Amino acid sequence: MKLISFFVSVFFGCPIAASISPPYGNQTAPCIFTGSSGFDLLTKRNTSCRDLILSDLLVPGGVTLNLDKLKLGSTVTFNGPIPKPKFFQVHKLVDSVIEGITIVNAPVHVFSINGCKNLTLKGVTIDNKAGDATQKEWDEGKGGRNTDAFDVGGSEDIKIERARDDCVVVNSGTNIIFRNGLCSGGHGLSIGSVGGRSDNTVQNVLFENSVIADSENGARIKTKHSTTGLVSNVTYRNVMLQNITKYGIVVDQSYSCQTRPNGVSITGFTLVNVTGTVLPTGTNIFVNCGDGSCKQLEWKGVDVKGGKKSSTCLRIPSGSWC
């Protein structure tokens, strides 16, 4: 299975007449490859160009777009109809494997996983460090935004192993495993936000044997206010936190509206050996539950320190603390 061709054909799948400009040789302007036959021209002649632009390029199914013979220092620009698309759409795959992929400086969400069953991703590196910014730069509109590595929705039996990335968001789905990962510079390992979508059920999720470093959050569950849904049987096991900036552990049932915890039920939230550090400006643990809507929380071996103790936690359920 050659999934690079799957991605490019979906994202740039707009067959038009092929064109290429300018002539090859001593390049004075970018080489532009477009259309349904632009792929053939590109694969035959990409070593002749230093600056390449791929615009509305259609890659045949079952074929890989191979650019590993470009000249040293070459640049490749992808132009498409959407300014900041989901970078790698993985939709409706069954019994599939995505392995050994490195992606650098994605413009927005990277892997959009939807409608899949029995999918494994392993050995994936997503490096968006170029989008890191200080708080001042962030306030000025600089830095990368919403560069979630893996957004999972409406899928079953998903495994993500040996990943290095800006981390995971599970919005809906069942039987999701993230294992042996390194998350750096993102929002942590997150459930949700859940609520207000066509599918608002998250069940049987396991995050284990992973490190979350230099990120805004560590372990996080967030559900939207004034909606319904279910978050059930979520486990974080053997997870180390390093230099978390905002919340080490956060359960927030009123995401986007702090005064109205909602009707989304959280049942079965287990933490086992979740340890590490939060920066002094951050908060170790924050819990904001609705009235009776957080149940069966079981935390063991949880030791998160370095940050502040929250004074605004609400309705802390048995088995957890703040």
* Span 169-199, pLDDT tens digits: 999 999 999 999 999 888 899 999 999 999 9
Statement: residue 131 has pLDDT above 70: no
Of residues 129 and 169, the one with the higher pLDDT is 169
Of residues 85 and 231, the one with the higher pLDDT is 231
Bridge partner list, 78: 54
**Distances from the Cα of 80 to the Cα of 84, 85, 147, angstroms:** 9, 9, 18
218-234 CB burial, b ≥16 within 10 A, e <16:
bbbbbbbbebebbbbbb
How is 237-305 classified by DSSP, letter by letter?
A: EEEEEEEESSEEEEEEEEET-TT---S-EEEEEEEEEEEEEE-TTSEEEEEE--TT-EEEEEEES-EEE
Q: Across residues 111-130, what is the average pLDDT?
A: 90
Statement: residue 90 has pLDDT above 80: yes
Statement: residue 133 has pLDDT above 70: no
Looking at residue 15, its pLDDT comes to 29
How is 18-64 classified by DSSP, letter by letter?
A: -EEES-SSS-SS-EEEEETTHHHHHHHHGGG-SEEEEEEE-PPTT--
Looking at residue 4, its pLDDT comes to 33
**Share of residues in the chain with pLDDT > 90 (%):** 52
Q: Across residues 244-249, what is the average pLDDT?
A: 96
Confidence at 104, pLDDT banded by 50, 70, 90: confident
Confidence at 162, pLDDT banded by 50, 70, 90: confident
CB 236 within 8 A of CB 264: no
Of residues 298 and 133, the one with the higher pLDDT is 298
Statement: residue 10 has pLDDT above 60: no
Looking at residue 237, its pLDDT comes to 98
* Span 21-32, pLDDT tens digits: 444 445 567 888
Of residues 74 and 61, the one with the higher pLDDT is 74
Q: Across residues 27-52, what is the average pLDDT?
A: 78
Instruction: State the catalytic residues.
Output: 165, 187
Statement: residue 251 has pLDDT above 70: yes
Q: Across residues 88-109, what is the average pLDDT?
A: 87
Statement: residue 123 has pLDDT above 50: yes
Statement: residue 63 has pLDDT above 90: no
How far, in Å, CA of 231 to CA of 220, rounded? 12
Question: Of 9-13, 208-212, 224-228, 255-259, where does mean pLDDT reach its minimum?
Answer: 9-13
Statement: residue 2 has pLDDT above 60: no
Question: Of 63-77, 111-125, 227-241, where does mean pLDDT reach its minimum?
Answer: 63-77
Statement: residue 18 has pLDDT above 70: no
Looking at residue 191, its pLDDT comes to 96
Statement: residue 88 has pLDDT above 90: no
Cβ neighbours of residue 134 closer than 8 Å, sequence gap 6 or more = none
